Amino acid sequence: MHTVTDRESFRRLAADAPADARIPVEGRVTVGDPFEAYRRARTAARPGVFYETTGGQPGRGYFGVDPAETLTVAPEASVRDPDHPGHGDYADPSPTLEALAGLLDTATLVRGDCAVPYPCGVFGWLSYDTARELESFPPDGAVDDRGLPRLQAGLYTTLASWSEPRDDGAVTLRVTSCPRVADHADADAAYDAGVAAARDLAERAVDGDPSVGSAPAAAADAVSFESDCGRDAYAERVRRVKEAIRAGDTFQANVSQRLVAPAAVHPVVAYAALRARNPAPYSGLVEFPGVDLVSASPELLLRREPGEATDRGTRAATRALDSKPSPSPAPARATRTRRRTPRWRPSSRATRRSAPNTRCSSTSNATTWGR
């Protein structure tokens, strides 16, 4: 790995940085395919994320394999603060968004000359069911029958990134590590730690073992997906939507169905096939405890940038994320783990769910392996 960030530049940034500052250290390494580099770098023991832009669209790709901290919010989560002001236009506080805000507020990025948009950050997945914390739904509406978390996320302080579109030949991975200066004896020690972390990821991306192990379910000669409703039930859903439109209750609705099949293919292998057959601007693989998610979408649901919010389907979530609620105790039933002793401690009700992985389900543009 070629180290780009020099020690003296790091020292200058650290001298004027706030106490909680993270400062990027960048190195570069050449690989053939970023996804194959992720396969070599990943480990089944740690949550991993792989985001990319495929199909010739301009953008960036990222992967991380070893989060410094993880957060899981269960459906039963609640905010303990009785005086919480809520989120944006919503009076009731969202335990999921509150926990996410707490994870995002753990440090300040002082980037210096680093041009990588996200040299470190929070990656993961947020459930549509988070809307249940913000809005009231009809009593005969959809039922959350899977018990999946509302949120799983990791704080990745070391990431690999690259530019898209890319040629079929060699690709330069920009490997960034963002040590927090306060966690080390001095700026030099923080710089050395950043270089070491970046080099470790770079070496694993080049020399690691790309094998992924066995699939969650037993292999089969043929696997078919089963619908959760069938043709007649689906037609009834369409009829009810038409009635709601005529009544003025809505002007648009997406009628969906859940397709379920045994998870006879490892999620990494499934994503490899998906990215080859269905290139998409927003593609990704998320491997977290209990849930693996494979996705390829032509559009964003939500983009949040400083001073700007762009969504494709819900401005409510944007407003909720725009708000800056005052800090409050961590939500009950939220699990947050760190490599070192945490300053934030979950309640005694905190839990992580895990059960044998036997089936995968496909809805819209994403496929989840529920374990």
Supply the DSSP string of 206-254, one letter for each residue.
HHS-------SS---S----EESSHHHHHHHHHHHHHHHHHTTS-S---
What count of other Cβ atoms lies within 10 Å of the Cβ of residue 163? 14
Tell me how many helices (H) and strands (E) the chain has.
Answer: 7, 20
pLDDT at 112 over 80: yes
Do 151 and 290 meet the contact criterion of CB atoms below 8 Å apart? no
Mean pLDDT of 205-231: 86
d(CA 275, CA 294): 10
Residue 135's identity, in one-letter code, is E
Q: Kindly report whether the global pTM for this prediction surpasses the value 0.95.
A: no
Question: Using CA atoms, how far apart are residues 121 and 109, in angstroms rounded to an integer?
Answer: 9
Strand order in the sheet with 332-338: 121-126, 151-156, 69-78, 332-338
Binning pLDDT at 50, 70 and 90, where does residue 306 land? low
Tokens of 147: 């018990």
pLDDT in tens, 29-51: 999 999 999 999 999 888 999 99
Q: What is the Rg, in whole angstroms, of the alpha carbon atoms belonging to the chain?
A: 22
**Between the ranges 189-203, 236-250, 277-291, where is the mean pLDDT highest?**
189-203
Interval 126-168: pLDDT, tens:
988 888 888 777 666 667 778 889 999 999 999 999 998 887 7
> In whole angstroms, what is the distance from residue 263 CA to residue 368 CA?
9
Task: Label residue 317 by pLDDT band (50, 70, 90).
Answer: very low
Q: How far apart are CA 265 and CA 178, in angstroms?
A: 35
Which pLDDT band, with edges at 50, 70 and 90, does 180 fall under? very high
**Do residues 108 and 20 make contact, with C-beta atoms less than 8 angstroms apart?**
yes
Structure-token pair, residue 34: 């970023």
Structural tokens at position 346: 């979950």
d(C-alpha 208, C-alpha 36), whole Å: 10
- Position 203 confidence tier, pLDDT thresholds 50, 70, 90: very high
Residue pLDDT, tens place only, 347-369 = 323 332 323 333 444 444 455 55
Half-sphere exposure of 358 (CA within 13 A, CB side): 2
pLDDT band at 54 (very low <50, low <70, confident <90, very high): confident
Confidence of residue 307 (pLDDT cuts 50, 70, 90): low
Sequence-ordered alpha helix ranges (H) in 17-133: 34-41, 95-104
Q: What is the mean pLDDT of the chain?
A: 80
Residue 166 CA from chain centroid, whole number: 23
Sign of CA dihedral 158, 160, 163, 164: negative
